[in-house]
Amino acid sequence: MKIEIKKSRKPIKYSYAINFLEKRLVEINNNRANELIWLLSHPSTYTAGTRYNKEEIIDKKIKIIKTNRGGKITWHGPGQIVCYFVINLNKRGRDIRKFVKLIEKTLIKTLNEYKIKSFNDRKNIGIWIKHKKKTKKIAAIGIRIKKWIAYHGFSININNDLKEYKKIIPCGIKNKEVTNLINIKKQNYNNIKEIIIKNLIKNLKI
């Protein structure tokens, strides 16, 4: 199993990243390229998945990019890590639920290495934590499957500006907040990309 690892230091425009993923998907389907894991950040961007509705946009001035991933509206920007992938489920039993669990397991294990306890939620996809007696979202997951190849990915908030979420109803969930790691525990997260990659590759091999 060969997986290309790509890490971008400078912010990558959302449209460029998605075009890159879709091109790689075609190449993988034609056995012309390796699978991909790509860690990056975006400039401030609001994206809407296939299940969003306009009522979830609070600030009507913001620009929304419609995407073909699952899920609803979210924000990407500085201080957040995005992990994109193009992973061939034809080689992994064509089990979407198992693959989502694999992503959840990767995120939970990564946060556990920073002594932060997190959990998944069957009703609300993503990774959550208990903080100051409230359940808050720390990571979002949005996946699309085409020809049994999974792409798009997940994002995890490190030290981003949480005020950006006030302009939308994040992921369509009204009664729960979004937070970031620096709010939960002030420590050095500089090596989190390497830990995400390590855990994701390990889980893909299982």
CA distance 140 to 182: 17
Catalytic (active site) residue 171? yes
DSSP, collapsed to helix, strand or coil, labels residue 7 as strand
Where would I find the beta strands (DSSP E) of 16-67?
A: 35-40, 45-48, 64-66
CA distance 89 to 129: 29
CA distance 131 to 70: 27
CA distance 12 to 81: 11
Distances (CA, A) of 111 to 35, 114, 148: 25, 5, 29
Catalytic residue among 87, 102, 149, 171: 171
| Cα-trace Rg, the chain | 16
Give me 45's structure tokens: 């961007």
Distances (CA, A) of 87 to 33, 99, 182, 200, 205: 11, 10, 30, 11, 12
CA 162-118-195 angle, to 5 degrees, is: 85
- Show which residues are catalytic: 171
